[in-house]
Amino acid sequence: MNGRSIIEEARRTSRTLLTEIESKALLEEAGIPTVETLLAKSREESVLLSKKLGFPVALKIVSPEITHKSDVGGVELGLKTSKQVEAAYDRIVSVVQQRYPKARIDGVSVQKMARPGTEVIIGMTKDTQFGPVLMFGLGGILVELLKDISFRIVPMEREDAREMIREIKGYKLLEGYRGREPVDIATLEETLLKVSQFVDSNPDIKEIDLNPIFAYKDGAVAVDARVILEEDLLLREDLRR
Protein backbone atom coordinates (compact mmCIF):
# COMPACT_ATOMS: atom_id res chain seq x y z
CA MET A 1 0.00 0.00 0.00
CA ASN A 2 1.47 3.36 -1.06
CA GLY A 3 1.37 6.59 0.86
CA ARG A 4 -1.68 8.05 -0.86
CA SER A 5 -3.71 4.88 -0.40
CA ILE A 6 -2.77 4.78 3.31
CA ILE A 7 -4.12 8.30 3.76
CA GLU A 8 -7.22 7.53 1.69
CA GLU A 9 -7.94 4.43 3.78
CA ALA A 10 -7.65 6.46 6.97
CA ARG A 11 -10.04 9.05 5.52
CA ARG A 12 -12.49 6.31 4.50
CA THR A 13 -12.58 4.97 8.05
CA SER A 14 -12.75 8.48 9.59
CA ARG A 15 -9.36 8.18 11.28
CA THR A 16 -6.77 10.89 11.87
CA LEU A 17 -4.29 8.77 13.87
CA LEU A 18 -2.29 6.41 11.66
CA THR A 19 -0.99 3.18 13.16
CA GLU A 20 2.74 2.74 13.65
CA ILE A 21 2.86 0.41 10.65
CA GLU A 22 1.05 2.91 8.43
CA SER A 23 3.20 5.78 9.70
CA LYS A 24 6.43 3.92 8.98
CA ALA A 25 5.26 2.92 5.51
CA LEU A 26 4.56 6.60 4.71
CA LEU A 27 7.94 7.70 6.00
CA GLU A 28 9.85 4.92 4.23
CA GLU A 29 8.27 6.02 0.98
CA ALA A 30 9.64 9.51 1.67
CA GLY A 31 13.14 8.05 2.10
CA ILE A 32 13.20 8.27 5.91
CA PRO A 33 14.74 5.07 7.34
CA THR A 34 12.61 3.14 9.84
CA VAL A 35 12.85 -0.25 11.52
CA GLU A 36 10.91 -2.87 9.52
CA THR A 37 7.61 -3.45 11.31
CA LEU A 38 5.01 -6.12 10.48
CA LEU A 39 1.45 -6.71 11.69
CA ALA A 40 0.56 -9.92 13.54
CA LYS A 41 -3.16 -10.58 13.95
CA SER A 42 -2.75 -13.64 16.15
CA ARG A 43 -0.39 -15.19 18.70
CA GLU A 44 0.76 -17.73 16.11
CA GLU A 45 1.44 -15.06 13.50
CA SER A 46 3.47 -13.03 15.99
CA VAL A 47 5.79 -16.02 16.44
CA LEU A 48 6.12 -16.62 12.69
CA LEU A 49 6.97 -12.97 12.04
CA SER A 50 9.44 -12.91 14.94
CA LYS A 51 11.28 -15.85 13.40
CA LYS A 52 11.21 -14.15 10.01
CA LEU A 53 12.65 -10.88 11.34
CA GLY A 54 15.03 -12.54 13.80
CA PHE A 55 15.18 -12.42 17.59
CA PRO A 56 15.23 -10.41 19.79
CA VAL A 57 12.03 -8.59 18.85
CA ALA A 58 9.62 -5.99 20.20
CA LEU A 59 5.83 -6.28 20.21
CA LYS A 60 3.51 -3.26 20.35
CA ILE A 61 -0.27 -2.95 20.35
CA VAL A 62 -1.77 -1.79 17.05
CA SER A 63 -4.98 0.18 17.55
CA PRO A 64 -6.20 3.31 15.75
CA GLU A 65 -7.51 4.56 19.10
CA ILE A 66 -4.36 4.23 21.23
CA THR A 67 -1.68 6.88 20.86
CA HIS A 68 0.73 6.24 23.73
CA LYS A 69 1.28 2.49 23.63
CA SER A 70 3.73 2.27 26.54
CA ASP A 71 1.40 4.07 28.93
CA VAL A 72 -1.26 1.36 28.59
CA GLY A 73 1.05 -1.66 28.85
CA GLY A 74 0.99 -2.14 25.10
CA VAL A 75 4.73 -2.62 24.54
CA GLU A 76 7.05 -5.57 25.25
CA LEU A 77 10.75 -5.35 24.39
CA GLY A 78 13.72 -7.68 24.05
CA LEU A 79 11.78 -10.92 23.44
CA LYS A 80 14.27 -13.69 22.66
CA THR A 81 12.20 -16.86 22.18
CA SER A 82 8.92 -18.01 20.67
CA LYS A 83 7.50 -18.71 24.14
CA GLN A 84 8.33 -15.18 25.27
CA VAL A 85 6.62 -13.78 22.17
CA GLU A 86 3.48 -15.88 22.77
CA ALA A 87 3.26 -14.76 26.40
CA ALA A 88 3.91 -11.11 25.48
CA TYR A 89 1.20 -11.18 22.80
CA ASP A 90 -1.34 -12.47 25.32
CA ARG A 91 -0.32 -9.93 27.98
CA ILE A 92 -0.50 -6.98 25.59
CA VAL A 93 -3.91 -7.85 24.17
CA SER A 94 -5.32 -8.71 27.60
CA VAL A 95 -4.19 -5.53 29.37
CA VAL A 96 -5.38 -3.27 26.53
CA GLN A 97 -8.75 -5.00 26.41
CA GLN A 98 -9.11 -4.49 30.15
CA ARG A 99 -8.19 -0.81 30.07
CA TYR A 100 -9.89 0.05 26.78
CA PRO A 101 -12.68 -2.50 26.29
CA LYS A 102 -14.18 -0.53 23.39
CA ALA A 103 -10.93 0.04 21.52
CA ARG A 104 -10.45 -1.66 18.17
CA ILE A 105 -7.39 -3.91 18.28
CA ASP A 106 -5.90 -4.79 14.88
CA GLY A 107 -3.20 -6.99 16.42
CA VAL A 108 0.38 -6.30 17.44
CA SER A 109 3.33 -4.96 15.51
CA VAL A 110 6.48 -7.06 15.41
CA GLN A 111 9.90 -5.52 14.85
CA LYS A 112 13.45 -6.65 15.36
CA MET A 113 15.17 -4.86 18.22
CA ALA A 114 17.46 -2.21 16.78
CA ARG A 115 20.98 -1.99 18.13
CA PRO A 116 21.25 0.77 20.75
CA GLY A 117 22.36 4.20 19.60
CA THR A 118 22.18 7.82 20.67
CA GLU A 119 18.48 8.68 20.90
CA VAL A 120 17.22 11.78 19.12
CA ILE A 121 13.76 13.02 18.20
CA ILE A 122 12.38 14.69 15.09
CA GLY A 123 8.84 16.03 15.22
CA MET A 124 6.46 18.34 13.42
CA THR A 125 3.46 20.33 14.59
CA LYS A 126 1.47 23.09 12.93
CA ASP A 127 1.54 26.59 14.32
CA THR A 128 -1.56 28.70 13.64
CA GLN A 129 0.61 31.60 12.46
CA PHE A 130 3.69 30.00 10.87
CA GLY A 131 2.31 26.68 9.65
CA PRO A 132 4.42 23.48 9.85
CA VAL A 133 7.28 23.73 12.37
CA LEU A 134 9.99 21.07 12.64
CA MET A 135 11.54 20.12 15.98
CA PHE A 136 14.83 18.36 16.78
CA GLY A 137 16.37 17.30 20.08
CA LEU A 138 17.69 14.51 22.24
CA GLY A 139 15.17 11.69 22.20
CA GLY A 140 13.61 9.07 24.44
CA ILE A 141 12.75 10.29 27.92
CA LEU A 142 15.43 12.99 27.66
CA VAL A 143 13.17 15.16 25.52
CA GLU A 144 10.65 15.31 28.39
CA LEU A 145 13.24 15.77 31.13
CA LEU A 146 15.61 18.26 29.49
CA LYS A 147 13.40 19.89 26.84
CA ASP A 148 16.60 20.48 24.89
CA ILE A 149 15.09 21.12 21.47
CA SER A 150 15.35 23.44 18.48
CA PHE A 151 12.76 24.57 15.93
CA ARG A 152 12.61 25.66 12.29
CA ILE A 153 9.78 26.59 9.92
CA VAL A 154 9.11 24.30 6.95
CA PRO A 155 10.39 24.24 4.24
CA MET A 156 14.02 24.11 5.38
CA GLU A 157 17.34 24.50 3.62
CA ARG A 158 20.42 22.40 4.41
CA GLU A 159 21.93 25.25 6.44
CA ASP A 160 18.79 25.31 8.59
CA ALA A 161 19.18 21.60 9.33
CA ARG A 162 22.85 22.07 10.13
CA GLU A 163 22.20 24.91 12.57
CA MET A 164 19.19 23.16 14.10
CA ILE A 165 21.28 20.18 15.19
CA ARG A 166 24.22 22.20 16.45
CA GLU A 167 22.26 24.63 18.60
CA ILE A 168 20.88 22.11 21.11
CA LYS A 169 22.76 22.01 24.42
CA GLY A 170 23.29 18.26 24.06
CA TYR A 171 25.20 18.58 20.78
CA LYS A 172 28.37 17.39 22.52
CA LEU A 173 26.69 14.00 23.02
CA LEU A 174 26.28 13.74 19.27
CA GLU A 175 29.98 14.52 18.78
CA GLY A 176 30.98 11.64 21.05
CA TYR A 177 31.14 13.06 24.60
CA ARG A 178 33.42 11.21 27.06
CA GLY A 179 34.08 8.20 24.91
CA ARG A 180 30.58 7.79 23.49
CA GLU A 181 30.36 6.84 19.84
CA PRO A 182 29.94 9.98 17.70
CA VAL A 183 26.92 9.97 15.41
CA ASP A 184 26.60 10.59 11.69
CA ILE A 185 25.57 14.25 11.72
CA ALA A 186 25.24 14.36 7.92
CA THR A 187 22.60 11.61 8.06
CA LEU A 188 20.64 13.52 10.71
CA GLU A 189 20.76 16.65 8.55
CA GLU A 190 19.51 14.64 5.56
CA THR A 191 16.73 13.10 7.64
CA LEU A 192 15.56 16.53 8.77
CA LEU A 193 15.49 17.71 5.15
CA LYS A 194 13.52 14.64 4.05
CA VAL A 195 10.97 15.17 6.82
CA SER A 196 10.71 18.84 5.79
CA GLN A 197 10.15 17.89 2.16
CA PHE A 198 7.60 15.23 3.15
CA VAL A 199 5.64 17.70 5.27
CA ASP A 200 5.81 20.44 2.64
CA SER A 201 4.38 18.15 -0.05
CA ASN A 202 1.69 16.59 2.18
CA PRO A 203 -0.67 19.20 3.65
CA ASP A 204 -2.79 16.28 4.94
CA ILE A 205 -0.23 15.77 7.72
CA LYS A 206 -0.96 17.58 10.97
CA GLU A 207 1.67 16.09 13.26
CA ILE A 208 4.71 13.79 13.14
CA ASP A 209 6.61 12.21 16.02
CA LEU A 210 9.75 10.15 15.37
CA ASN A 211 10.93 9.14 18.83
CA PRO A 212 13.30 7.63 19.32
CA ILE A 213 15.55 7.75 16.31
CA PHE A 214 18.70 5.72 17.01
CA ALA A 215 21.66 7.64 15.63
CA TYR A 216 24.90 5.77 14.88
CA LYS A 217 28.31 6.62 13.51
CA ASP A 218 27.18 5.11 10.20
CA GLY A 219 23.53 6.14 9.89
CA ALA A 220 20.26 6.49 11.76
CA VAL A 221 16.91 4.70 11.97
CA ALA A 222 13.50 5.62 13.42
CA VAL A 223 12.44 2.97 15.93
CA ASP A 224 8.97 4.38 16.58
CA ALA A 225 6.82 6.68 14.48
CA ARG A 226 3.48 8.44 14.76
CA VAL A 227 1.66 10.41 12.07
CA ILE A 228 -1.57 12.33 12.64
CA LEU A 229 -3.68 13.68 9.78
CA GLU A 230 -5.66 16.91 9.58
CA GLU A 231 -9.27 16.33 10.57
CA ASP A 232 -10.81 17.65 7.38
CA LEU A 233 -8.41 19.24 4.93
CA LEU A 234 -11.08 20.06 2.31
CA LEU A 235 -13.24 21.86 4.87
CA ARG A 236 -10.24 23.86 6.11
CA GLU A 237 -9.39 24.91 2.56
CA ASP A 238 -13.00 25.90 1.84
CA LEU A 239 -13.03 28.13 4.93
CA ARG A 240 -9.94 29.97 3.72
CA ARG A 241 -11.50 30.89 0.39
How far is the C-alpha of 85 from the C-alpha of 98, rounded, in Å? 20
> Does the structure show a pLDDT above 90 at 231?
no
Question: What pLDDT does residue 112 have?
Answer: 97
Determine the average pLDDT of the residues in 119-138. 94
Give the mean pLDDT of the chain.
91
pLDDT at 198 over 50: yes
The average pLDDT across 102-129 equals 94
- Is 70 exceeded by the pLDDT of residue 185? yes
Is the distance from CB of 93 to CB of 101 less than 8 angstroms?
no
Share of the chain above pLDDT 70, in %: 93
Q: Counting every residue, how long is the chain?
A: 241
Q: What Cα–Cα distance (Å) separates residue 240 from each residue in 129, 153, 158, 233?
A: 14, 21, 31, 11
Which residues neighbour 146 within 8 Å (Cβ) at sequence distance 6 or greater? 137, 138, 169, 170
Whether the per-residue pLDDT at 145 is higher than 90: the answer is no
pLDDT in tens, 57-109: 999 999 988 888 888 899 999 999 999 999 999 999 999 999 999 889 999 99
* Single-letter code of the amino acid located at 197: Q
Per residue in 28-42, pLDDT tens?
Answer: 999 999 999 999 999
Mean per-residue pLDDT for 144-165?
91
SS3 content of the chain, % helix, strand, coil (to 5): 40, 30, 30
The full set of domains in the chain, from first to last, is 3-112 (3.30.1490.20), 118-235 (3.30.470.20)
**pLDDT for residue 121:** 95
- Proportion of the chain above pLDDT 90, given as a percent: 75
